[in-house]
Amino acid sequence: MRTFILVLLFCINIYATKISDVANIVGVRENQIIGYSLVVGLKKTGDGTTSKFTLQSIANMLKSMNIDMNTIDIKSKNVAAVVVTARLKPFSRHGDKFDITVSSIGDAKSLEGGTLLMTPLKGVDGKIYALAQGAITIGGKNERGAGSESHSTVGLVYGGGLVEREVNIDLYHKKHATLSLKESNFKNSVAVQKAINAVYNTQVAVAMDPRTIKLQKPDNKSMIEFLAEIQDIDMDYKPQSRIIINERTGTIIAGVGIEVKPIMLTHGDITIKISESENPNKPAGSIVIDDSLVIGLNENELYTKNGTTTVANLVRSLQKMGASPKDIISILETMKSAGSISAELKVI
């Protein structure tokens, strides 16, 4: 039987936060890099003879070492073909080390105990930005005490990446910069503009759209000093109301203050009545959940009054009525379609 989980996140309409928490500096970001290689030293848990690309890779590697061998003569099961992925942090410098992820692409059973051979890691432009090599770590034990078999074909090499090419970001000589809000919102964009201009008593920030704020540094500061101060400024932030639903696990995450508008809805044997009346009718023998929520005598009707019902207490009441996670998710989706819920509904 699936378990229903309700997570309530306390939030208010407007609260103070730092600009660095809600906006990024355009151009300052991580870069994805990728490579292909071999993992050796496995205990007969590597790729079998059906993985032709692994056998060809072994033959090519041996040929580069002046050993000419035909792929049909290679029977080793101690080698696995892998894809190596990593994120190159902004302002990474030559010689910096970073962690890498190694994932099997053949029919290997496990990468445990293996060693990744030297792997060039390339960016989207095809240039080599780093090299990777080292012993692979799979992880601990699972709940049953056995090795984590479901994840044994994916491992990590801690500090196994080495930066060979830097991604140059010249901020010092720039006179202009751009902030990008993590979520599009007109009010927040204007709030960032007002907060910055209030600190400098001049028009150094201009909101260009719901997500973009253009900056012009003052003459008496470097761009680095300017951006450091910008990120530390407090602003009035209005979070976007959102309901997150995970249909696979039956998890619902909703803000406490998301109001439900008047609606009459029937789903299976469950009836929901939300009216504009301040004193909704309470059928004889009904069960009062709180001042605004009432469950009918037959336990399949929910009565409430407008202005007091939120998604949080609605879900709580439906759960008390015995509604399944699937039913509750369907009801919320229907109410969103009918306009009874104005918050963004995201199903993952």
**From first to last of its 348 residues, what are the pLDDT tens digits of the chain?**
333 333 333 333 446 789 999 999 998 989 999 999 999 999 989 888 778 888 888 888 888 888 887 777 777 888 999 999 999 999 999 999 999 999 999 889 999 999 999 999 999 999 999 999 999 998 754 433 444 444 689 999 999 999 999 988 888 899 999 999 988 889 899 999 999 999 999 999 999 999 999 999 999 999 999 999 999 999 887 777 778 877 777 777 776 677 777 777 788 777 777 765 555 555 544 444 444 454 444 445 555 555 567 787 778 777 777 788 888 888 888 888 888 887 777 777
Q: Which amino acid is at 126?
A: G
Q: Are 306 and 220 in the same domain? A: no
**Number of Cβ atoms within 10 Å of the Cβ of 94:** 10
Same domain, 159 and 228: no
Which residues on neighbouring strands pair with residue 197, listed in sequence order? Answer: none
| Distance of alpha carbon 155 from alpha carbon 104, whole angstroms | 9
Distance (Å, whole) CA 170 – CA 66: 45
Last residue of a domain, one of 130, 163, 196: 163
* Same domain flag for 56 and 124: yes
**130 with 39, same domain?**
yes
Q: 145's torsion region: left (phi>0), alpha (psi -120 to 50) or beta?
A: left
Angle between helices 311-320 and 325-338 (to 10 degrees): 140
In one-letter notation, the amino acid at residue 85 is: T
Best CA proximity match to 79, nearest among 134, 128, 39, 117: 39
Domain around 89: 31-163
| Residue 137: inside a domain | yes
Same domain? For 62 and 149 the reply is yes
- Using alpha carbons, select from 49, 76, 51, 50 the residue that is nearest to residue 62: 76
Shared domain check, 261 and 326: yes
- 38 and 158 assigned to the same domain: yes
Please, are residues 276 and 262 in contact by the beta-carbon 8 Å criterion?
yes
Residue 10 lies in a domain: no
Kindly state whether residues 145 and 36 are assigned to the same domain.
yes
Q: Considering the domain boundaries, does residue 3 fall inside one?
A: no
Q: Are 79 and 39 in contact (CB under 8 A)?
A: yes
- Quick one: 119 and 143 in the same domain? yes
